[in-house]
């Protein structure tokens, strides 16, 4: 299998790396990434956030002693000698108790249903991250396949795929996303063997994937168009390799760095998309929580309990920021020539170790 | 230096001139809502949180819809423009006077006032009334059951959709309208006062006209409807020319019109009314602002309006698991009115029966005191074959939370549930359509149409009220003995004996528990400081009257 040894170097039209250097291309990329302190710091932050949401069952079972959807409207909390209502007669939920009630209602109750906000925040994060991750996997995989087919075959195949992507791209994303999301939430979907239950997470996953694919497929198609002109592809053709082998064994490995970068950035984008859909009632359905639904629920209580909307918003911001910085770091590490091209173009001189 | 002085002088003069122009100002300021005031006039800026179910008088069956249309469409009879119980008095509308009732209570004769016109200039004719009734039936209106069960020939018309309703005759020359009933009906005058049967021109299409409402006879009319954005009302040009002279007892209104804007976020609505950019918000103040708004504005800009209403969870008695009365009773035991009072932030008063407090015939009882353990035990004993339930609610807070509460309660007593929260604009249409799958249980509310207990029985619990679309009997409850009792009681005038009989019927139906009722709501009239709150009239049936809004 002929590959361009420096990940991403194919895009810059580079040749083979000199055999004199000791480390392989991936190890070099790792070293470049680790030199990027911001990227490493934000990767650490992202890991912390993931650990936070993964700890949800532990917190729910051993600290809060409740589930994410269990209501406690009538319950009273004993805090020292004081008895506090979880929801008072005027509908005001209890505020953050921190550790005064042994960790119960650490961040207070989420509203008039008296659900534990901390538990919902953690479980909501699992759903938001799950949707972000799964849609990124599906979208990236689909975009790679479509980009490969369009870029390799060109001609009518390219035209058809490009036009379909153009149509999706031209649709008003949020409006159609909301309409589709609500339809799937109410009625579900049954297309032959494929069935999506009404209200299932597959509803928003499907909507997000449909609208995100063009954003990745188009640039990948462009890269494939360039790669098919390379000598190693010609060589493979000359050796009698078929189209599928050429696409997946020769060209695809050269797209690895691009795919990795897009993948990380797509997780972030799709989390935002899901948050928007859920905020508008077209994504995750009640009583389940995601960070988007928590912002929506919290917006009803902005005057009295602003934390309920602010906290999930902060978590979404930190997660998306982390992924974006990590994605930028990965891009610089995997394709340092993109930085060289940028510096040459702008006349900018970057200090050593910083990412663009 | 001289040049600098000249430049400086020019700049100074320009600045002073500009300041002067700004200080003088110009015209009315659109940005702070409510143009005009003082001696009358002005445009009322109001906000709803979304489109009512319909803006078609034949179809709308919600408080929001009736509030939007109560000054546009006037039926033959109408309700007195007054607050509280006084507003439930039926008075002549387009009819000259209250009907003459003869033939043992089965014949109602009315005469149309002469000279009436619709807002498009067409003359109102006596035959417009039977047309309106027929149109309403053809559209499968949720209000049809009042009339198909009452008027001779209406049921046959509802089946065939052909010809005319034999029980209604109208003479355009004399203005006489004669209505023959199948049997005496104590509530028929009230039902003639509902907008379902407000006369309409006979060229009105037989379709939902929400996006382009038909002309009306009231002091205002719809000039523009933008689904998703709002609508506008202006003075009906033919009100002053013709109708107000024919109906002098009905008010003409102080404001020149209204501009209604949809603002889905109730917090924003409250902020806007406080700031004066909106003059009135039609829907409830959100729960977390209610206590603060009440403390700050009650008496000056806010007035609490108790209603005769029932908030309840319906259960489909025709499908498992709710086809078993024990299961339905168990659900009632598991529901806590106190929890729901908190969910409604103190705006709800607990009630566990069909009739709400304030309704004639109401006699308090509670067959199912809160007991979750008992509920679980009953479910275990009943051992229903189907443990999967779909729970429905709309997305208007706190009704969505009430539905989530029901969802949680059902899970707690052992069911597997799926919650579906629909947009409030479409909720009633979707759940009222028999083709919607899995209509197992859900949230609903009902506000009195008129001060007669039949209003909480017949449209909601009578077998004849079950309709394929716009259905209000969501429990699909159809008990022949109860149907017969409802019909029998409805023939009688309200008296202490009839009220006692309704109280008995209430208990009898609650023993079968087709619902889990939980409370009656208080609403509020919340206006900006530009509006004279004391002049605003809230009718228990029709909501706030546009004609009663007046700027200070």
A9 pLDDT band (50/70/90 cuts)? very low
Helix (H) or strand (E) holding B309: strand B309-315
Is B367 in the A-facing interface, judged by CB distances under 8 Å? no
pLDDT of residue A305: 84
Residues A129, A89 contacting (CB under 8 angstroms): no
d(CA A309, CA B442) in angstroms, rounded, equals: 28
What percent of chain A has pLDDT above 70? Answer: 87
Of A112, A113, A286, the CB nearest to B421: A286
Q: What is the mean pLDDT of residues B299-317?
A: 96
Q: State how far residue B343 is from chain A, nearest Cα, in angstroms.
A: 5
Cα-based distances in Å from B213 to A5, B58, B220, B263, B341: 70, 11, 12, 21, 37
Cβ <8 Å between B346 and A285 = no
Question: Are the beta carbons of A91 and B290 separated by less than 8 Å?
Answer: yes
B416 interface with A at CB cutoff 8 Å: no
pLDDT confidence bin for A4, thresholds 50/70/90? very low
Instruction: Give every CB contact of residue B22 below 8 A, 6+ residues apart in sequence.
Output: none
Residue A2 has pLDDT above 50, yes or no: no
Tell me how crowded residue A48 is: count the other CB atoms within 10 A of its CB: 11
Residue ranges, CATH 1.10.3720.10, chain A: 45-53+122-345
Instruction: Give the residue from A70, A110, A182, A186 with the most B CB atoms within 10 Å of its CB, the best one to mutate.
Output: A186
Nearest CA in chain B to A111: B343
d(CA A40, CA A34): 6
A194-196/A189-191 β-pairing: antiparallel
Which residues of A fall within a CB distance of 8 Å from B346?
89-91
**Contact between A333 and A6 (Cβ < 8 Å):** no
What residue of B is the nearest CA neighbor of A300?
B267
B85, with CB counted inside 10 A (0-12, 13-18, 19+), is exposed
Q: How confident is the model at residue A56 (pLDDT cuts 50, 70, 90)?
A: very high
Which residues in chain A are closer than 8 Å to B336, comparing Cβ atoms?
Answer: 73-74
pLDDT recorded at residue B80: 94
What residue of A is the nearest CA neighbor of B418?
A199
Which 3 state secondary structure label does DSSP give A125?
helix
Residue B38 has pLDDT above 50, yes or no: no
User: How far is the C-alpha of A176 from the C-alpha of B396, rounded, in Å?
Assistant: 22
**B152: contact with A, CB 8 A cutoff:** no
Assigned token pair, A234: 């010609």
Residue A310 β-bridge partners: none
Q: Do A301 and B397 touch (CB under 8 A)?
A: no
* B6 burial type by CB count under 10 A (0-12 exposed, 13-18 middle, 19+ buried): exposed
- The answer to whether the CB atoms of B291 and A92 lie below 8 A apart is yes
Q: Nearest CA of chain B to the CA of A88: how many Å?
A: 7
Q: What percentage of chain B carries pLDDT values higher than 90? A: 84
Decide if B34 touches A, using CB distance below 8 A.
Answer: no
- What is the mean predicted confidence (pLDDT) over A39-65? 96
Quote the CA–CA distance of B443 and B428 in Å, as a whole number: 10
Predicted pLDDT at A235: 87
Contact indicator for B530, B552 with CB cutoff of 8 Å: yes
Per-residue pLDDT of A265-297, as tens digits, reads 899 889 988 888 887 777 888 899 999 999 988
Tell whether ipTM is more than 0.95: no
Residues of chain B with Cβ-Cβ distance to A301 below 8 Å are 288
* pLDDT value of position A339: 52
Query: What's the whole-number mean pLDDT along residues A226-243?
Result: 88
Instruction: Name the token pair of B352.
Output: 């566990």
pLDDT band at A353 (very low <50, low <70, confident <90, very high): very low
Asked whether the beta carbons of residue A71 and residue B405 sit closer than 8 angstroms, the reply is yes
Q: Say if B392 is an interface residue toward chain A (CB within 8 Å).
A: no
Q: How confident is the model at residue A23 (pLDDT cuts 50, 70, 90)?
A: low
Residues in B touching A303 (Cβ below 8 Å)? 267, 288-289, 292
Q: Which of A69, A199, A285 minimises the CB distance to B408?
A: A69
* Main-chain dihedrals φ then ψ at residue B201, nearest 5 degrees: -60, 145
Give the C-alpha distances (Å, rounded to integers) separating B524 from B283, B538, B545: 8, 9, 14
Task: Give domain A45-53+122-345's CATH number out of 3.30.1370.140, 1.10.3720.10, 3.30.70.1290, 3.60.21.10.
Answer: 1.10.3720.10
In A, which residues are within 8 Å of B420 by CB distance? 185-186, 198-199, 285
Q: Does A281 touch chain B (CB under 8 A)?
A: yes
Nearest 5°: CA angle at A302, between A299 and A304? 140
Cβ B290–A71 below 8 Å, yes or no? no
**Contact B447/B411 with Cβ under 8 angstroms?**
no
Contacts of B391 (CB under 8 A, 6+ apart): B403, B406, B407, B410, B417, B418, B419, B420, B440, B441, B442
Dihedral angle, C-alpha B17, B23, B24, B25, nearest 10 °:
110
CA distance B179 to B163: 16
Q: CB A112 to CB B398 under 8 A?
A: yes
Chain B residues near residue A89 by CB distance under 8 angstroms: 341-342, 346
Interface check A260 vs B, CB under 8 A: no
Distance CA B263, CA B259 (A): 13
Q: In chain B, what residues touch A92 (CB-CB under 8 Å)? A: 288, 291, 345
C-alpha span between B72 and B218 (Å, rounded): 4
A87 neighbourhood in chain B, CB within 8 Å: 342-343
Subunit contact A299:B267, Cβ cutoff 8 A: yes
The β-bridge partners of B309 are: B447
Q: Region B27-51: what's the mean pLDDT?
A: 66
Region label for B153, one of left (φ > 0), alpha (ψ between -120 and 50) or beta (otherwise): left
Confidence band of B3 (pLDDT split at 50, 70, 90): very low
Average pLDDT of every residue of chain B: 91
Does the beta-carbon distance from A74 to B342 stay under 8 Å?
Answer: yes
Contact A91 B421 (CB under 8 A): no
| pLDDT surpassing 80 at residue B538 | yes
Q: How far is A313 from chain B (nearest CA, A)?
A: 18
**B345 and A CB contact within 8 Å:** yes
Residue with tokens 């020359």: B173
Secondary structure in 3-state letters for B142-181: CCHHHHHCCECCHHHHHHHCCCCCCCEEEECCCCEEEEEE
Give the residue from chain B lying closest to A178, CA to CA.
B423
Reported pTM: 0.79
Chain B interface includes A57 (CB < 8 A): no
pLDDT digits (tens, 9 = 90+) for B108-142: 999 999 999 999 999 999 999 999 999 999 999 99
| From A69, A73, A304, residue closest to B343, measured CB to CB | A73
Q: Residue A263 CB: number of other CB atoms within 10 A?
A: 20
Residue of B nearest to A110 (CA): B401
Q: How far apart are CA B85 and CA B102, in angstroms?
A: 28
Name every chain A residue with its beta carbon within 8 A of the beta carbon of B418.
198-199
Distances (CA, A) of B110 to B97, B163, B204: 7, 23, 23
Residue A72: closest CA among chain B residues belongs to which residue?
Answer: B339
Residue whose token pair is 């003479």: B171
Query: C-alpha distances in angstroms, B396 versus A121, A281, A324, B540?
Result: 23, 12, 36, 21
Strands B43-48 vs B257-262: parallel, antiparallel or unpaired: parallel
**Chain B residues near residue A286 by CB distance under 8 angstroms:** 400, 404, 419, 421
Is A94 part of the contact surface with chain B (CB cutoff 8 Å)?
no
CB-CB neighbours of A354 under 10 Å: 12
The two structure tokens encoding residue B426? 């479409």
Give the pLDDT confidence of B313-371 residue by residue, as tens digits: 999 999 999 999 999 999 999 999 999 999 998 899 999 999 999 999 999 999 999 99
Among residues B511, B513, B505, B517, which one has the least CA distance to residue B454?
B505
Inter-chain contact A286–B405, Cβ cutoff 8 Å? no
Q: Is B266 on the interface with A (CB under 8 A)?
A: yes
């Amino acid at each position: 299998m002929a590959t361009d040894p420096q990940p991403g170097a194919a895009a810059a039209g580079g040749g083979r790396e000199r055999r004199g250097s000791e480390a392989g291309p991936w190890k070099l990329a790792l070293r470049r990434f680790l030199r990027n302190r911001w990227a490493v710091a934000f990767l650490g932050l992202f890991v912390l956030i993931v650990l936070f949401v993964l700890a949800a069952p532990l917190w729910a079972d051993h600290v809060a002693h409740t589930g994410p959807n269990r209501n406690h409207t009538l319950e009273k909390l004993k805090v020292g000698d004081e008895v506090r209502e979880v929801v008072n007669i005027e509908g005001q939920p209890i505020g953050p108790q921190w550790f005064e009630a042994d960790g119960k209602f650490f961040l207070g109750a989420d509203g008039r249903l008296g659900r534990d906000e901390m538990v919902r925040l953690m479980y909501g994060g699992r759903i938001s991250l799950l949707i972000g991750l799964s849609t990124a996997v599906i979208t990236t995989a689909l975009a790679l396949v479509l980009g490969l087919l369009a870029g390799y075959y060109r001609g009518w195949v390219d035209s058809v795929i490009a036009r379909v992507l153009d149509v999706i791209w031209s649709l008003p994303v949020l409006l159609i996303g909301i309409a589709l999301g609500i339809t799937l939430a109410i009625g579900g979907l049954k297309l032959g063997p494929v069935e999506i239950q009404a209200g299932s997470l597959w509803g928003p996953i499907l909507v997000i994937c449909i609208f995100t694919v063009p954003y990745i497929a188009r640039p990948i198609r462009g890269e494939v168009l360039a790669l098919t002109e390379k000598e190693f592809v010609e060589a493979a053709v000359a050796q009698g390799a078929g189209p599928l082998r050429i696409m997946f064994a020769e060209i695809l490995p050269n797209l690895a760095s691009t795919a990795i970068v897009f993948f990380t950035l797509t997780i972030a984008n799709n989390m935002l998309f899901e948050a928007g859909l859920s905020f508008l009632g077209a994504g995750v359905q009640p009583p389940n929580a995601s960070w988007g639904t928590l912002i929506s629920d919290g917006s009803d209580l902005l005057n009295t309990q602003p934390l309920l909307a602010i906290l999930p918003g902060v978590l979404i911001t930190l997660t998306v920021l982390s992924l974006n910085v990590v994605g930028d770091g990965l891009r610089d590490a995997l394709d340092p020539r993109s930085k060289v091209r940028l510096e040459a173009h702008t006349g900018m001189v970057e200090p050593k170790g910083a990412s663009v | 230096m001289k040049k600098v002085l000249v430049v400086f002088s020019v700049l100074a003069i320009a600045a002073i001139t500009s300041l002067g122009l700004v200080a003088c100002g110009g015209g009315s300021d659109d940005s702070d809502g409510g143009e005009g005031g003082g001696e009358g006039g002005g445009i009322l800026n109001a906000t709803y949180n979304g489109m009512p179910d319909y803006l078609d008088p034949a179809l709308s069956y919600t408080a929001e819809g009736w509030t939007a249309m109560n000054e546009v469409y006037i039926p033959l009879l109408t309700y007195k423009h007054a607050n509280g119980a006084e507003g439930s008095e039926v008075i002549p509308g387009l009819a000259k006077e209250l009907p003459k009732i003869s033939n043992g209570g089965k014949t109602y004769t009315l005469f149309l006032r002469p000279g009436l016109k619709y807002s498009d200039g067409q003359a109102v004719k006596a035959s417009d009334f039977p047309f309106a009734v027929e149109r309403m039936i053809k559209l499968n209106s949720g209000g049809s059951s009042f009339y198909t069960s009452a008027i001779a020939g209406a049921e046959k018309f509802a089946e065939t959709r052909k010809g005319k309703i034999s029980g209604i005759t109208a003479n355009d020359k004399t203005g006489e309208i004669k209505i023959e009933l199948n049997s005496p009906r104590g509530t028929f005058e009230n039902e003639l006062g509902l907008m379902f049967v407000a006369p309409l021109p006979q060229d009105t299409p037989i379709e939902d006209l929400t996006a382009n409402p038909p002309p009306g006879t009231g002091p205002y009319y719809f000039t523009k409807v933008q689904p998703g954005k709002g609508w506008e009302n202006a003075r009906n040009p033919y009100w002053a020319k013709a109708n107000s002279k024919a109906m002098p007892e009905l008010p003409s209104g102080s404001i020149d019109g209204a501009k209604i804007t949809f603002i889905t976020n109730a917090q924003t609505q409250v902020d806007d009314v406080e700031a004066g950019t909106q003059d009135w918000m039609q829907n409830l103040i959100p729960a977390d602002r209610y206590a603060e708004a009440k403390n700050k504005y009650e008496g000056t800009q806010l007035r609490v309006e108790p209603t005769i209403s029932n908030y309840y969870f319906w259960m489909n008695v025709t499908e498992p698991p709710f086809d078993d009365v024990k299961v339905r009773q168990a659900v009632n035991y598991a529901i806590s009115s106190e929890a729901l009072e908190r969910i409604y932030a103190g705006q709800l008063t607990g009630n566990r029966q069909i009739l709400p407090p304030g309704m004639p015939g109401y006699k308090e009882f509670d067959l199912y005191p809160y007991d979750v353990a008992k509920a679980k035990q009953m479910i275990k004993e009943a051992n229903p074959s189907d443990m999967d339930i779909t729970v429905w609610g709309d997305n208007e807070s706190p009704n969505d939370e009430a539905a989530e509460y029901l969802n949680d309660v059902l899970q707690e007593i052992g069911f597997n549930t799926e919650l579906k929260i629909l947009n409030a604009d479409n909720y009633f249409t979707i759940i009222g359509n028999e083709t919607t799958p899995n209509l197992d249980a859900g949230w609903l509310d009902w506000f009195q149409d008129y001060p007669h207990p039949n209003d909480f029985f017949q449209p909601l619990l009578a077998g004849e009220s079950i309709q394929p679309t716009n259905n209000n009997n969501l429990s699909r409850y159809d008990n022949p003995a109860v149907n017969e009792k409802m019909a029998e009681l409805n023939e009688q005038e309200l008296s202490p004996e009839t009220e006692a009989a309704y109280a008995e019927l209430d208990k009898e139906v609650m023993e079968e528990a087709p619902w889990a009722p939980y409370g009656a709501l208080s609403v509020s009239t919340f206006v900006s400081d530009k509006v004279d709150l004391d002049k605003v009239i809230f009718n228990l049936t029709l909501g706030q009257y546009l004609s009663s809004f007046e700027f200070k």
